[in-house]
Amino acid sequence: MNPTIELLKSHRSIRKFTGEKIPHELLRELIRAGQSAATSNHVQAYSVIHVVNPDNRQKIAELAGGQNYIADCSDFLVFCADMKRSTAAADRAGAEVIRGMTEQLLVATIDASLMAQNVAVAAESEGLGLCYIGGIRNNPAQISEILRLPEHVYPVFGMCLGYPDQNPEVKPRLPVEAVLREDFYTDEMDDELVAGFDQTMNDYYRERTGGNKDTTWSEQLKPLFTSKLRPHMRDFLSKCGFEMK
**CA gap 244, 228 in Å, rounded:** 20
**CA gap 213, 31 in Å, rounded:** 38
Answer whether residue 211 shows pLDDT above 90.
Answer: no
Is residue 87 packed enough to be buried (19+ CB in 10 Å), middle (13-18) or exposed (0-12)?
buried
**CA gap 139, 65 in Å, rounded:** 9
Structure confidence at residue 3 (pLDDT)? 95
Q: Top-level CATH class of 3-169+228-239?
A: alpha beta
> What is the mean predicted confidence (pLDDT) over 64-72?
97
How many CB atoms lie under 10 A from the CB of residue 234? 11
Answer whether residue 37 shows pLDDT above 80.
Answer: yes
**CA gap 132, 87 in Å, rounded:** 28
Structure confidence at residue 207 (pLDDT)? 87
Write out pLDDT tens, residues 75-93: 999 999 999 999 999 999 9
Write out pLDDT tens, residues 103-139: 999 999 999 999 999 999 999 999 999 999 999 999 9
Structure confidence at residue 210 (pLDDT)? 82
Where b means 16+ CB within 10 Å and e means fewer, 198-219 reads bebbbebbeeeeeeeeeebbee
Structure confidence at residue 171 (pLDDT)? 96
In percent, the amount of the chain with pLDDT more than 70 equals 100
Average pLDDT, the chain: 96
How many whole angstroms from its chain centre is CA 172? Answer: 19
> What is the mean predicted confidence (pLDDT) over 57-63?
98
Answer whether residue 212 shows pLDDT above 90.
Answer: no
Name the 3-class secondary structure at 82: strand
Structure confidence at residue 1 (pLDDT)? 76
pTM equals 0.96
pLDDT band of 200, cuts 50, 70, 90: very high
Half-sphere exposure for 81 (CA within 13 Å, toward CB): 24
Cα dihedral value 90, 93, 98, 102, nearest 10: -20
**CA gap 1, 50 in Å, rounded:** 35
- Comparing C-alpha atoms, which of 236, 233, 240, 235 is closest to residue 99? 240
Q: Are the beta carbons of 150 and 99 closer than 8 angstroms?
A: no
For the packed helices 24-35 and 102-125, what is the interaxial angle rounded to 10 degrees? 130
Structure confidence at residue 161 (pLDDT)? 98
**CA gap 64, 159 in Å, rounded:** 12
Write out pLDDT tens, residues 166-189: 999 999 999 999 999 999 999 999
Answer whether residue 43 shows pLDDT above 90.
Answer: yes
pLDDT band of 156, cuts 50, 70, 90: very high
Give 245's contacts (C-beta < 8 A, 6+ positions apart): 100, 101, 102
